[in-house]
Amino acid sequence: MKARVFQMPWGISLVETTIAIGVVAFALVALLALLPVGMKSIRASHNETIATHLLSGIVADVQTVPADQTESPRYGIPINASVSSTGRFYIDQNGEASQNQGDPGFVVDWRVIKPASSHVLAPSRVALQIAWPSMAVRPSGTVDALVVIPVDKK
């Protein structure tokens, strides 16, 4: 009795190889197309994180103004003045402020809102907005905060 030998093809054809390379190339091109979107998202997230840290420093500066002083010690925002006011300054990612527009950097717009009635014990408010980049006509991102300054009851 003769044994049957079952033979398997031990190779792949050129057509199969070409199709496999085409599928892998298509997948790689699709992945490479996502890189710019990912990089833009990372850059936006990085700038927003820096702006948030800067904003928390400005809020701390505004909140630590003693009752006998009229402006914040680091950034010069007039807090205890008798009228509402607005202003703008530029700040780098290290928190150093200047009046000159720089790039890359952030622009800080502030507005001190005094209570409508002077005889009511109502707190002042400070609206802050950080935008970036500082030289842009239309900023790519902003972070806002509203700080309430308590009334000194002395």
**For the segment 27-45, what is each residue's pLDDT rounded down to a tens digit?**
999 999 999 999 999 999 9
Kindly report the average pLDDT of the chain as a whole number: 85
Strand, helix or coil for residue 120: coil
- Domain presence at residue 50: yes
Q: Which domain holds residue 134?
A: 31-149
Q: Residue 19: which H helix or E strand, with range? A: helix 14-63
Q: What is the pLDDT of residue 79?
A: 81
For residue 6, what pLDDT is reported?
63
How far apart (Å, rounded) are the C-alpha atoms in residues 28 and 12?
23
- What backbone torsions phi and psi does residue 24 show, to the nearest 5 degrees? -65, -40
Q: What is the DSSP letter of 84?
A: -
Question: For the chain, how many structural domains are there in total?
Answer: 1
Task: Give the confidence band of 152 by pLDDT, cuts at 50, 70, 90.
Answer: low
Q: Would you state the structure tokens that stand for residue 16, as one six-digit string?
A: 């199969």
**Which tens digits make up the pLDDT trace of 81-127?**
677 889 999 998 888 888 777 666 899 999 998 877 665 667 788 99
Q: Confirm whether 9 is domain-assigned.
A: no
Q: With a threshold of 0.85, does the pTM exceed it?
A: no
Q: Quick check: is 40 in a domain?
A: yes
